Chain A
Amino acid sequence: MIELSHIEKRFGDAVILKDISLQFPEGSVTALVGPSGGGKSTLLRCINLLELPTSGTVQVGEEVLDFAPGRKIGWQAIQKIRRQTGMVFQNFQLFPHRTAIENVMEGLVTVLKWPKERAAARATELLTKVGMANKADAWPSTLSGGQQQRVAIARALAPSPRVLLCDEPTSALDPELSAEVVDVLGTLAKEGTTMVMATHDLRLASQIANHVVFLENGSVVESGSARTIFGSPQHERTRRFISSINAAQGLEHTGPGSGTDG
């Protein structure tokens, strides 16, 4: 179980997140949706503490961490939470000086001090799962965006995290390449991987997520099952947002020479 309680995040005077409380049960897949600047990414990064909340409580598994203005948080405490999470970034952020398999092995060898052979075996298993085993020894720069993102997913999963956090995992990809990433994430979801993803990609959200949270201006406007939010949203604001995205994605498919693909 991952739980955020009364999370607030400020940068100076700007309030990015306002009193957000959410639960992400084991095995659930939650999509954070909403307009840019609404706080999706920041909220996601508050779970693995790449951003430290100004106040509130973050719980991942048994580890609980309380934040309050002026309170110092120790590195050990951050690590205890962060090590139970894996993250996938919009721009993949593979380590360019390491091959695909070395990328996946890196956390196991450097952080968890696994022996190389054991890490390589685990990495091969994960690369197979994301369909990248045949590119194990390739440099990231020789891979397509979709392939890089699949390797990045394998890297994030390597230490068997409790939750996989995905920050706009398909936004840097054209529709065809994003489909292969959606497939991989869909398989993981079916296998019971707990996921939280910030995304604009309604195909990704509607295919994979069973829970949707709509965020705007740092607050939760509406949350519920994916079917409810996408099918019959309660709030006017959510309705407008969903229909605008549907319209945009519709144009992409039918618009004559819209040229927006990719």
Chain B
Amino acid sequence: MPHWLQLMSDSLPTLLWAGIKFTVPLTLLSFAFGLILGLVTAVARLFAPMPLALVARFYVWVIRGTPLLVQLFVIFYGLPSIGILLDAFPAALIGFTLNIGAYSSEIIRAVISSVPRGQWEAAYSIGMNWRQAMGRTILPQAARVAVPPLSNTFISLVKDTSLAAAITVPELFQAAQRIVATTYEPLILYIEAALIYLVLSSVLSSLQDRLEKRFSRYGGMLEANR
């Protein structure tokens, strides 16, 4: 077995373990929490009274306007100065959740607005209240349109979790860095890490395809409804 292959197969369990223990949970949890935050933010911007809508806007503005790495540093290294001490994983989780919340809120806001106004009226006309109309009529249609852009966000997130290495989360990329520190084989190890990210992203892409197929069974929004 050639040297590089040997090295890759030797380090694979360590990298995979770091991925399973940190990268995957960090990705899934921050995406799930981020989506909830994004939905709340989008609804606040679309429907809430002025002060609340402004708070939502401010949040999106700050998060989108500053680098993710800097945000992570502020949370993990900065907050202790004012007495807020967080472990690396929760700090990363907060940082990524805030990010997904801001970016997904823009997507969710757009797809909610893309559902024709007449659908709200149809829902109200059969007696639904706002929550029923939103939950049973608007969001299911918006969700379909949201799949491709939210998948983009999700795939970016998987890769962005490598930034957590910078705040000492022992995730996949940091595991690779550690092995490099002892083997002095950066090219091989970093390519291996990249390949694992590639596999993860591909799994997500195929998930996206399946979701899109599932949603397309009804043929999309009706032309006449627009």
Instruction: List residues of chain A with CB under 8 Å of any chain B CB.
Output: 48, 50, 75, 79, 82-83, 85-87, 89, 91-98, 106-107, 110-112, 139-142, 145, 148, 155-156, 158-159, 172
Contacts and interface: CB of A to CB of B under 8 A. Distances in A.
A106 B125 contact: no
A92 B224 contact: yes
B218 A50 contact: no
A120 to B, nearest CB: 16
Contact of B136 (A83, A87, A106, A140): A106
Given A96-B141, A97-B140, A86 B126 contact: yes
A145 B127 contact: no
A156 B123 CA distance: 11
B108 to A, nearest CB: 17
Contact of A93 (B122, B132, B219): B122
Given A141-B218, A145-B224, A107 B121 contact: no
Nearest to A49: B124
Nearest to B215: A97
B220 interface: yes
Contacts of B140: 97
B22 to A, nearest CB: 37
A155 B218 CA distance: 18
Contacts of A156: 125-126
- Majority SS at the chain B contact face: helix
B220 A82 contact: no
Nearest to B122: A93
A92 B225 CA distance: 7
A158 to B, nearest CB: 7
Contacts of A110: 128, 132, 136
Given A89-B121, A110-B132, A110-B136, A96 B126 contact: no
Nearest to B144: A97
A165 to B, nearest CB: 8
In the complex, which range does the number of interface residues on chain B fall in?
20 to 34
Nearest to A139: B218
Contacts of B136: 106, 110
Contacts of A91: 118, 224-225
Contacts of A111: 126-128, 132
B129 A96 contact: no
Given A92-B225, A93-B225, A110-B128, 16 more contacts: A50-B121, A50-B125, A75-B129, A79-B129, A85-B125, A87-B121, A87-B122, A91-B118, A94-B222, A94-B225, A96-B222, A98-B218, A112-B127, A139-B217, A140-B222, A141-B219
B119 interface: yes
Contacts of B222: 92, 94, 96, 140-141, 148
Contacts of B127: 79, 82-83, 107, 111-112, 159
B125 A86 contact: yes
A139 B125 CA distance: 21
A142 B222 CA distance: 10
B219 A96 contact: yes
Contacts of B128: 107, 110-111
Q: Which of A50, A75, A95 has the most CB of B within 10 A?
A: A95
B159 to A, nearest CB: 32
A87 B224 contact: no
